[in-house]
Structure 1
Amino acid sequence: MAPPARYGPPAYSIPQRYMHREPPPEGADSNTRPYIIFFSYLLTCFLVTIFILLKLIRRASVLQKSTTARLPPKKHVWLFGGLAVGSLLSTWTQMFQYFRISYHQWLMWRSYYELEPHMRHWGLWLKETSLFREAWETVIVGNARYWWSHQIFFFALGLGLYLEQKGLPRGIRYTWAFMLLGQIVAISFATNLFLLTLLLSPPAPPSAPSGTRGHKWLGPWLLNLLAIFATAYPAMQLADEHYWYHPTHFMPMLLAPHIALMVLPVVRALVPPGYFEDDIQIADRIYNYLWVLVFANGGLMLGWTTVTAYAYSGVAGIVNAVFEHPAVGSVGFDVVFCWTTWICWKRTQTKPTRTEVSMHADEPSTEFVRDGRDTFVGAGAYGDGIRRR
């Protein structure tokens, strides 16, 4: 395969609609619709972030007032808070750079018609440019670039599993917010905010014995199992050059993981908790098996893309791919922060000793933490985590 151009592969560096060079519309078109779409996207990113931060502050406030729950080490809170800020700054510095390059590229090809100043507005650029599609076309096409971009599929998948396995037992039911934030802002940013939320949430109490009631193997985890296949299969297929040069086949493969990973969080948000009969013990065991499936697929893809990219351009080519284009840089920094975040999380999560376990066994139950006069924010079960007197 011929090496890709600096700002994209040969088939995508110049969008086909620019090659046709259709005349610009008469007059100064207001282009209200593209403006609304673009700024609604930015507003959604901002509002979802604020929503999660407000929830995070509330949990931290409740935890500080608790007399039984143990506060997390401050250095851990600062660590993941710093990683969240670093992730946001690094990925979105690249994103705004991508917006700038996209506009100037559009203006360069539109200048064939010697556009009047009143026609060089953002509205016409947004109307004639598909930012989402062109960014992913740039990021995926090329062996070295795909070495970076394919990893984000599996980090998103890992976040989806962790939201269910660790978030719901601690009363974090707004998992949709983290997954949505990961898809529209950065997976590493959403992951760090979720891990911060876990740190500032009360620990899950010991689950009650199930007695003679049989375990129910069927549950919401089936949707995550489907999400694994709906994410791993497109990730493998997009490594094929066929999808790099056939745009009509490219978009369905790209959208499948985005949709599949949002299904269960949205269902959790819309369906009342009473409709879910979750067995925490069996669900935790099942998710351990699902993690094996994710690691196996992710490891296979990482090995395959590493061999392919190394044979094509070597280590230098893989590293330099991050700096070839801002869209690639945004995904590349996202991947770097994902690796850093999960490694730090693994190292900071120490298992309690037998002495600590025996000490906590003699303490009163800390299933609920007081939040205000009549509200208790709890850690247990798969319910709302809130109990009122």
Structure 2
Amino acid sequence: MADVALENPPIHYRSIFLFLFYLSLILSLAFTCCRTIYVRYQARQKNNDWATGRRTHLWLFIFLAAMSLGSTWYYMISLFIRTYDDWAASPQGIPYAGKDTPLITRLGLWLYNTYIFQTAWETVSETPARVWWSGQIFGWTIGWSLFLGVMGRRYRIPHIWVFMLLAQAVAVSFSANLFFAAVAVSSRVDEKTLAFAWSPPLLYEAVPVALSLLDTLAVPIFAYQKEFMLILLAPHFLVFIPTLLGPGPKDSSEPTTKAQGARATRRYVVLMQWVAAASVVLQAYFTFLARRELGTELSFGEFARKLWDTVYVHPACSSVSWDAIMSAVSAFFWALVHGFDSRRMVGGL
């Protein structure tokens, strides 16, 4: 029976289908986001009602989106190749890695026997130096979820949860720049609308944020344990909550004023400042752990160089690290084009 199995290995169509579905989902989500940008771009061109500087902002963030996609997915493709090569060199893969085995069979066996994304996240959570980079992605995503919620409502961008799903399927920085571009081509905010002044009960936004931050601490602790995927996926689901909140029919009957809109803006500025402060504290803790791992006697320059070397120890580390870098670059430019005015940065015109 063993010889028969070796000569006629199964074709794992399900594994191949799931991988192709993942790639198709990426294309579908990216198309949906780009379609929103294109439709609104056409509307601005037709009506010639561009807000000051928005046309320049559009091309800036499209450029940054392309940079984000290239810098992260070059290494994602490298990760796929690396995991295939690892499988082909393993006892499971050696009997089938040759060209005598049909390609579809080899691909199915590779995907069936390799937990690509679990392995990738366990790899980037393996050491404090790697967590120093990967932990930043959680921080960016948590804060960005609040930003998506308020900006999606204020600029009436449809299906903002699609941007969050794209961020998790591709890269946070790529999706964030597409969202910035979508804001750039949207019509000016109307301060008299309910969407501008409305905000949900604080509990609905604060609890998912707090739980996500706590879960970020737990992710590296549970690496290579059976609970790892549950711990890893928890914040991935929690960050969708702020993007799904919106005024209901009952709220729509309530009158709004400019003062209400100003209060909502102040609330989000303060809330995001608290999230930013919590993320800084979290990153300081990760820095302490990385410093302890790499050597407390190192100078700042040596410590920074070793952290940079960590970026390239594995394709998974490279992809996540460059996502963190491009997220920081994108956030900087979003702040820059708004004059570092926190009120303007959350659509509080």
Normalising by the smaller structure, the TM-score range is 0.7 to 0.9
**Structure-2 separation of matches of 1:103 and 1:139:** 18
Asked whether 1:319 is paired with 2:304, we answer: no
Asked whether 1:305 is paired with 2:286, we answer: yes
Q: Which residue matches 1:164?
A: 149
Q: Which residue matches 2:223?
A: 244
Q: Which residue matches 2:176?
A: 191
**Structure-2 separation of matches of 1:68 and 1:221:** 35
* Residues 161, 112 of structure 1: alpha-carbon distance in 2 compared, 3 angstrom cutoff: closer
Which structure 2 residues correspond to residues 25-64 of structure 1 after superposition, within 5 A? 27-64=8-45
- Which runs of 5 or more structure 2 residues have no equivalent in the other structure? 255-259, 295-302, 342-346
Q: Which residue matches 1:255?
A: 233
Percent of paired sites with the same residue: 28
Asked whether 1:155 is paired with 2:178, we answer: no
Q: Deviations over 1:82-119 (max 9, x none)?
A: 11001001101100100011011011113676336327
Residue range with higher mean Cα deviation, 40-49 or 222-231: 222-231
Q: Which residue matches 1:383?
A: none
Q: Deviations over 1:53-105 (max 9, x none)?
A: 11101101101122545353543222211110010011011001000110110
Residue range with higher mean Cα deviation, 49-58 or 221-230: 221-230
- Which runs of 5 or more structure 1 residues have no equivalent in the other structure? 1-22, 210-214, 353-378, 381-389
1:351 to partner: Cα distance: 8.3
**Structure-1 separation of matches of 2:324 and 2:36:** 26
**Structure-1 separation of matches of 2:55 and 2:292:** 45
Output the amino acid matched with 2:235. Answer: P
* Residues 304, 311 of structure 1: alpha-carbon distance in 2 compared, 3 angstrom cutoff: same
* Residues 157, 276 of structure 1: alpha-carbon distance in 2 compared, 3 angstrom cutoff: farther
Q: Which residue matches 1:98?
A: 79
* Residues 84, 275 of structure 1: alpha-carbon distance in 2 compared, 3 angstrom cutoff: farther
Q: Which residue matches 1:328?
A: 317
State the TM-score, normalized to the length of structure 1: 0.75
Q: Which residue matches 1:385?
A: none
**Structure-2 separation of matches of 1:308 and 1:86:** 31
2:266 aligned to which of 285, 288, 300: 285
Asked whether 1:133 is paired with 2:118, we answer: yes
**Structure-2 separation of matches of 1:71 and 1:162:** 21
Asked whether 1:72 is paired with 2:50, we answer: no
Output the amino acid matched with 2:91. Answer: R
1:32 to partner: Cα distance: 1.1
Kept in 1: contact 2:198–2:264 (CA 8 A): no
Q: Deviations over 1:204-240 (max 9, x none)?
A: 122379xxxxx987x2653322221221001112344
Kept in 2: contact 1:310–1:318 (CA 8 A): no
Q: Which residue matches 1:118?
A: 101
**Structure-2 separation of matches of 1:112 and 1:336:** 35
Corresponding residue SS for 2:227: helix
Indicate the structure (1 or 2) with the bigger Cα radius of gyration.
1
Kept in 1: contact 2:155–2:183 (CA 8 A): yes
Q: Which residue matches 2:299?
A: none
**Structure-1 separation of matches of 2:215 and 2:134:** 12
1:281 to partner: Cα distance: 4.5
Q: Deviations over 1:281-314 (max 9, x none)?
A: 4443332232133112201111111122123222
Output the amino acid matched with 1:102. Answer: T
Q: Which residue matches 1:359?
A: none
Output the amino acid matched with 2:165. Answer: L
Kept in 2: contact 1:178–1:190 (CA 8 A): yes
* Residues 208, 262 of structure 1: alpha-carbon distance in 2 compared, 3 angstrom cutoff: closer
Output the amino acid matched with 2:81. Answer: R
Kept in 2: contact 1:151–1:302 (CA 8 A): yes
Structure whose residues are more often helix by fraction? 2
1:167 to partner: Cα distance: 2.2
Q: Which residue matches 2:130?
A: 145
**Structure-1 separation of matches of 2:26 and 2:231:** 24
State the TM-score, normalized to the length of structure 2: 0.83
Q: Which residue matches 1:274?
A: 249
Kept in 1: contact 2:55–2:185 (CA 8 A): no
